[in-house]
Amino acid sequence: MGKIKVGFGFDVHQLKENHPFVLGGVKLEHHAGAYGHSDADVLLHAICDALLGAANLRDIGFHFSNKDERWRGISSLILLQHVVALLKEKNYVIGNIDAMVCLEAPKINPHIPAMKGYIAEAAGIEEEDISIKATTNEQMGFIGREEGVVAYAVCLIERGA
């Protein structure tokens, strides 16, 4: 059995009116969307940071700087594919991913199966090894006022023999 490591990731983006909202690779219908240099997919960014952290490969900002035009508007599924390639270079495989999204709206439960499918394909793992949950912030703070969205993720990786 190889070495098992755990990683934790977090991301937050502000919501802007009339901006696309991409979450877990799925474009959601909503009056506002997450704003950032890439597609601002907080779920995928948290997952990338968890994976990078577990492998001691720094963080998403180190690998995909928001000052680098190559990453402007890019799908975060592509960023996840790059992260998985970095893990493979160090002989790590992903055991599982567990993620939580915190937002008031829109409700994401109907979209979770599609999100899991996109993430599984990009990460090269089974959908059953991905958990995505969502909660509100009970109308408190910047999340409750629908000014932003937050995602947390943990992952387990293992170094192959």
User: Residue positions in the annotated binding site?
Assistant: 11-13, 37-38, 45, 59-61, 64-68, 135-138, 142, 145
- Residue 44: exposed, middle, or buried by beta-carbon count in 10 A (0-12, 13-18, 19+)? buried
Q: Count the neighbouring beta carbons within 10 Å of the beta carbon of residue 144.
A: 15
Instruction: With residue 141 as reference, give the H or E element that holds it.
Output: helix 141-144
| Rounded distance between C-alpha atoms, residue 40 and residue 37, angstroms | 7
The DSSP bridge pattern shows strands 148-159 and 4-17 to be antiparallel
- Residue 36: exposed, middle, or buried by beta-carbon count in 10 A (0-12, 13-18, 19+)? buried
Q: Which residues are annotated as a binding site for a divalent metal cation?
A: 11, 13, 45
